[in-house]
A = this chain, B = another copy of it.
Amino acid sequence: MQIAIVLYPEFTALDVIGPYEVLGRLPGAEIVFVAEKPGLVRNDLGTLAVDVVAGLASITRPDVVVIGGGPGQVDQMKDGPLHEWLRAVDEHTTWTMSVCTGSLILAAAGLLRGRRATTHWGALDQLAHFGVTPTEDRVVVDGKYLIGAGVSAGIDAALTLAGRIAGDQTAQAVQLIIEYDPRPPYSAGSTATAPEPVRRAATSMLTPRHPG
């Protein structure tokens, strides 16, 4: 089972590494990081560079595609090689997954029209521009599209996908291996629970270009 994880400049690392850590542990999973421009792909914070060997042209029939978000998402919204590739491989995938603002890229490529989806809370209103119904669920499954909310939601989304792919017991075993028994020290992880001053602080810390 080939799982292609798309990287692009200014990606958010946890968006993709959360799912990678879960899906990469499934029996028979072959993970490949893929980018339009292979080589070192640098993240949004600028201090992490991942060596990507595979270009889009070399990955033609992945079983699963995963795309994350990050400030660089805004540069991936125009029709072009990545959208063409996403449309082509999506014809054959078993699952197409996104985390955070990665769903906006899938939506811009035309893959989510008429479907329900989510994204980072700071970008939720953008989904409707692409004919997508936004939801505030942390993980949305609509057909073969498995869509996670912002950044860390990729772990929950990937465990959900792991259950669909490999069964509940294997997914649970992966959860135990990564000791995913979360105990956040605060209850500020969603706009519903974060106090107003925290929401303001978070908004001011997000880049001008893009949330998350």
Contact = CB atoms under 8 A, between A and B. Distances in A.
A48 B45 CA distance: 18
A190 B178 CA distance: 9
Interface magnitude class on chain A: 35 or more
A121 interface: yes
A139 B185 contact: yes
Given A18-B14, A49-B51, A181 B176 contact: no
Interface of A: 12-14, 17-18, 20-21, 24-25, 27, 31-33, 40, 45, 47-51, 100, 120-121, 138-139, 149-153, 155-156, 159-160, 163, 168-186, 188-191, 193-195, 197-199, 201-202, 205-206, 211-212
27 contacts: A13-B17, A13-B21, A14-B17, A14-B18, A14-B178, A20-B45, A24-B45, A33-B48, A50-B50, A121-B179, A151-B177, A151-B180, A153-B179, A155-B182, A156-B185, A163-B186, A172-B186, A172-B188, A172-B201, A173-B198, A175-B184, A177-B206, A179-B190, A181-B189, A181-B193, A182-B182, A182-B184
